Amino acid sequence: MPALITDPEQLKELLGIPFTPEQTACITAPPAPQVIVAGAGSGKTTVMAARVVWLVGTGQVAPEQVLGLTFTNKAAGELAERVRKALVKAGVTDPDAIDPDNPPGEPVISTYHAFAGRLLTDHGLRIGLEPTSRLLADATRYQLAARVLREAPGPYPALTRSFADLVSDLLTLDSELAEHLVRPEDLRTWDAGLLNTLAGAKLSNADLRKVPETAAARRELAGLVLRYRAAKRERDLLDFGDQIALSASLAGIPEVGRLLRDEFRVVLLDEYQDTSVAQRVLLAGLFGGGTGHPVTAVGDPCQAIYGWRGASVANLDDFPEHFAHADGSPATRRALSENRRSGGRLLDLANGLAEPLRAMHAGVEALRPAPGAEQDGTVRCALLRTHAEEMDWIADSVAHLVRTGTAPGEIAVLCRTATDFAEIQGALVARDIPVEVVGLSGLLHLPEVADLVAVCEVLQDPGANASLVRLLTGPRWRIGPRDLALLGRRARLLVTHARVGDADDPDRRLAEAVEGVDPAEVISLADALDTFLELPLGTEQFGQQDDGLPFSPDARVRFARLATELRELRRALSDPLMDVLYRVLAVTGLEVELSASPHALAARRRETLSNFLDVAASFAAGDQEATLLAFLGFLRTAAQYEKGLDNALPGGENTVKVLTAHKSKGLEWDVVAVPGLVKGTFPSSQGREKWTAQAKVLPHALRGDRETLPDVEAWDSRGMKAFHEAMKEHQHTEELRLGYVTFTRPRSLLLGSGHWWGPNQKKPRGPSDFLQDLYDHCAAGQGEIEVWADEPAEDEENPALHTASADQVWPLPLDEAALARRRAAAETVLAHLDALTGDADGHPSSVHPPAAHDPSGHEDPDWPPPPEDEEPDPYEDDFPDGDSADWDSWSPDRPTVPHQAAPAERTPPRARDQEGAPASEHGRAAAPEHGRAPEPEHVRALEPGHARVPDHDRAPLTPEEARAIASWDRDLDALTGELLRARQAVTDVPLPATLSATQLMRLAEDPDGLAQELARPMPRPPQPAARRGTRFHAWVEARFEELTLPMLEPDELPGSDAEIADERDLEALKEAFERTEYAHRTPYRVEAPFQLALAGRVVRGRIDAVYRTGHGDEATYEIVDWKTSRTRLADPLQLAIYRIGWAEQQGVPPEAVTVAFVHVRTGEIERPEGLPDRAALEKLIVGQAECDEPPAEDVGAGR
């Protein structure tokens, strides 16, 4: 190629970038192996793009001979875009002079996994791999692993974890084996040798005794890995681990390496510190090994924060040896140390933190600021008295920044874990700050998602006791600690009686032995819950009388209702995954409760739930047979590891981002707040999982990076203690790296905070080493110490332990006036029932003792009651016994006080506060803690001083009488409803603060219909068309696999609104799409989210596809909306909203955005003209208010 660039200064001028001497040296280095240790914010991506321009522009290589590898599709897209723009800007590639018959090649930029997949496609036959092998989606991986576990012959006595946990463990061990190129058979042999060694050792403590148990479990788990791999081979399937491991074996074939080196004359490796051992073996086998091939690796050992998921920082340290020159000399090591992101004061803090890391790794230099930025950047720190005060300080600080001009999108809150996400989100929403929680692991910690997942876990696993306790103690069922403890006692009694009753049954014992069932391990609160459906009072249980445990009547009824609900839901577990999730939402009332609440936080909660359902829909799209069990295993792994599962990145909306520190790598903001800098939290005291205690963890001796990890030197207490101490020190180094990444994210302001008293700790926490570093930095005049609380006295107690138990932001606070009206209505109904069941003197009638599973009784008016299978009896069985219950002498024959509302349900709000009822400011009421339900008025009337009617004078209602009175009640309800409707003929429904694009279209077309939906939202029933739309979305995703696509709800998917009749129709739709011109164009964005502020409301939506023409200021966009129905109905208002939203989000005039409907079935393209502008859209919203007489303060949706 002719040389177009001959001088580094010419390169600077062409690209318009004033490269530093360090950058220039890296860019213009001769084509030979080199490793660049690039510090945070030092411009590594810019350097890689410029190096491609230099090598191509100087004629050393052709563009298509350059290979660039990185980890994510987003990073690969950004690098490819930078390289492409740089080549055009430098004049190396002239788009106006391109010969259409002989277009120039382009650099190949992809992910490491995509490169491995291409290698297998091209050369897989050399190792017996068929080219028809398919890559497993996450859903299929978990589905197949679950199937292997179910079909495994067993027994597996050492595997005692739950089924969903075992699915996750199986996949984790399989991945670790692949990453370190270890065969399962070798692992089983190694563990067998370890068991022989330990057989003669003195295991003197619990940690030592755990080792042989773990080794035995790992051997069994490795056997299951063999079965899982066999199942993959039978189905011709591969996962990402298989891709890398098999590609590494291909790299050992000399001819493959020669072909690749001839094809790619220059190789760029990004984020090399995050590569695994198998990836290093693959790359070194192809391009290293003393060949001297021009490989440039870029990375930073101080940012190697993914060691816990398989990355090996030793790859970067050992690069000079792995990729030596042809004469055997080590590759050149260079450094980039000028940070152009953060101010000098922020860099001083980061450098102090990373000092131990620089001593550990060669070539790492301290960061220095750009010239003139030495005094830029601010650090503010605070140590608050309590965790709640810290959350308020963070939220107040962020709110102040937003009010004083900082854009919300330039602020991030980075947490060590997702534990505080719910409180942070709630505090920011309460201050009217737009906020977004990023990532699946973050979603799982938000209460509405955690409740949904808890129900699913209880449905799938009867032994999911922790999840069931969450439900029982939550705001819906409100079971107190006393009844909860009794339920646990009944669960233990069930196991005890089962063991005793079956002791003489040899067939039962044989079956249990074959199945590997240990009765001691099946204590299940769910089984105990079911007894309230099966055992009325006085019946026999296991040949004995009822266990006589003194449950309160409230608890008995609520236990029975929950058991009924769970039993009904379990019948649907074989349904498709999305159907199961929507059924759970409908039965529990969670979605309706969120939709009906006008509270500002409810809108965010609804978005959170919608985002979670996006994740589930994407999971289900990968395998049409995806089950709830596989999905739960997927969630466990995502929450624990974020290992390739939690790929969510912050969206483009102007919102404060809340995410974990791990997910912040590679991102930057003007302001970063880091809460939770307390001892044991950040830096964390919880180390990496140890192979001596976790069967899913590969022993260090078998890992490819074993030299960098500590191991057990002797199998005695001293050797184990030394191992634990070494692992603790190793974890501290990992935390230093994470802290360095966190504190180098802000450009101008870092907020760091901690507290003394946690939300539920008995001992004070205090500032961590990181917060102390911030304090010292600020005390030296480099920042501000806003608050620094004194250490609590030794005898001081945590004030949070004395506050109401419901200190969460869930459930949402209720409107006090509405709550008072509901309670007054409940009192009226109760009084009406009391009058109907009383005699002539107003005294209640006697009735029969209730069954323990009686589902009748009124439920908490603060929460929608669970649906009932049949019409409940409208009358409670009342007893006049007003004496204090003596539970020690209680017997099944003794009459009980009927189930009544808890004090929080019966007492007006003001009285509740005075009486000290356990209700929090967030509206969550606690269950009664006494042995008996509170006495209603008609029971208190029977105390001394009141007339008492003899028992023999009262008779129960006959069934005919009860049915007649029930029909009267229904007639009264109907008449009352007619009267209320006559009195209130018009209802104004306020528009919510956030609207979807669909709702805005509905507002224009049918405001009354929208008003009805807003006034009484209903959960969407599962729809087969939506599921076929999900599969159509998965197919579209495969068409444009280089783009990172969001995960969508069924009604947001392309084709979900279509009349897709069956599978044949779906295939026809795909073929029709292939015939459109857009099938052969690569979209700039797919399912692009946007938000648009209109008339004080925020309109959100997703655009099916955006195509871009040109770059920079010359760029124009075409918005396309796929229409797959047969009716060809399309509302141009939809495209008008998309057009304005996209134009404002991209900062371009609306004239630069064109729009089109593509009717996929016919191929017709419809381009509406005369679309309304912003003013017209705002008039649409405001006009609803103007039509009201008199004008309302809030805009209304309709009447």
- Summarize pLDDT for 105-151 with one digit per residue, the tens: 788 898 898 899 889 888 988 888 877 778 876 667 887 888 899 88
Percentage of residues in the chain having pLDDT higher than 90: 28
- Whose CA is closest to 572, among 872, 1022, 1018? 1022
- CA 208, 213, 216, 217 dihedral sign is negative
Count CA atoms within 13 Å of residue 384 on its CB side. Answer: 17
Most trustworthy range by pLDDT among 129-133, 407-411, 812-816, 885-889? 407-411
One domain for residues 973 and 999:
no
Per-residue model confidence (pLDDT) at position 317 = 92
**Domain end marker among 923, 952, 982:** 982
Q: At 674, phi and psi to the nearest 5?
A: -125, 95
Stronger pLDDT, 1000 or 378, i.e. the higher one: 378
Q: Which residue has the tokens 């790859």?
A: 315
One domain for residues 998 and 1021:
yes
Supply the CATH number for residue 1122's domain: 3.90.320
pLDDT at 532 over 90: no
Provide the domain limits for residue 280: 8-94+105-125+254-336
Stronger pLDDT, 974 or 180, i.e. the higher one: 180
- List 671's β-bridge partners, or say none: 411, 749
pLDDT at 802 over 80: no
One domain for residues 977 and 998:
no
Q: Which of 85-89, 704-708, 795-799, 1136-1140 has the lowest mean pLDDT?
A: 85-89
Per-residue model confidence (pLDDT) at position 825 = 79
pLDDT at 190 over 90: yes
Per-residue model confidence (pLDDT) at position 1193 = 39
Per-residue model confidence (pLDDT) at position 934 = 41
- Per DSSP bridges, beta strands 746-757 and 378-386 are parallel
Stronger pLDDT, 191 or 653, i.e. the higher one: 191
* Helix/strand/coil for 688: coil
One domain for residues 1120 and 1189:
yes
Q: What is the mean pLDDT of residues 353-361?
A: 91
Supply the CATH number for residue 383's domain: 3.40.50.300
Sorting pLDDT into bands at 50, 70 and 90, what band is 1048? very low
Stronger pLDDT, 6 or 793, i.e. the higher one: 793
Structural domain includes residue 269: yes
Identity of residue 240? F
**Domain end marker among 235, 269, 296:** 235
- Per DSSP bridges, beta strands 989-990 and 1196-1198 are antiparallel
- Whose CA is closest to 68, among 250, 247, 298? 298
- CA 261, 264, 265, 267 dihedral sign is negative
3-state helix, strand and coil shares in percent for the chain, rounded to the nearest 5: 50, 10, 40
One domain for residues 310 and 375:
no
Going from the C-alpha of 1022 to that of each of 217, 575, 579, 584, 640, the distances in angstroms are 41, 10, 5, 11, 30
Per-residue model confidence (pLDDT) at position 908 = 39
pLDDT at 882 over 50: no
pLDDT at 901 over 80: no
One domain for residues 1054 and 919:
no
Stronger pLDDT, 482 or 94, i.e. the higher one: 482
Structural domain includes residue 532: no
**Domain end marker among 235, 270, 286:** 235
Per-residue model confidence (pLDDT) at position 877 = 37
For the entire predicted model, the pTM comes to: 0.62
One domain for residues 142 and 258:
no
Identity of residue 896? T
pLDDT at 578 over 80: yes
One domain for residues 955 and 1074:
no
Q: Which of 75-84, 247-256, 512-521, 689-698 has the lowest mean pLDDT?
A: 512-521
- Whose CA is closest to 310, among 386, 241, 254? 241
Q: What is the mean pLDDT of residues 772-800?
A: 92
Stronger pLDDT, 767 or 981, i.e. the higher one: 767
Structural domain includes residue 168: yes
pLDDT at 949 over 50: no
d(CA 434, CA 652): 13
Per-residue model confidence (pLDDT) at position 1002 = 74
Percentage of residues in the chain having pLDDT higher than 70: 72
One domain for residues 367 and 422:
yes
Structural domain includes residue 491: no
pLDDT at 503 over 50: no
Structural domain includes residue 822: yes
One domain for residues 1107 and 1187:
yes
One domain for residues 660 and 695:
yes
Per-residue model confidence (pLDDT) at position 947 = 41
Residues in the chain: 1199
Structural domain includes residue 331: yes
One domain for residues 427 and 365:
yes
Per-residue model confidence (pLDDT) at position 390 = 95
Per-residue model confidence (pLDDT) at position 388 = 93
Structural domain includes residue 494: no
Structural domain includes residue 493: no
Stronger pLDDT, 767 or 857, i.e. the higher one: 767
- The total of structural domains in the chain comes to 5
**What one-character DSSP code corresponds to residue 780?**
I
- Per DSSP bridges, beta strands 1196-1198 and 540-541 are unpaired
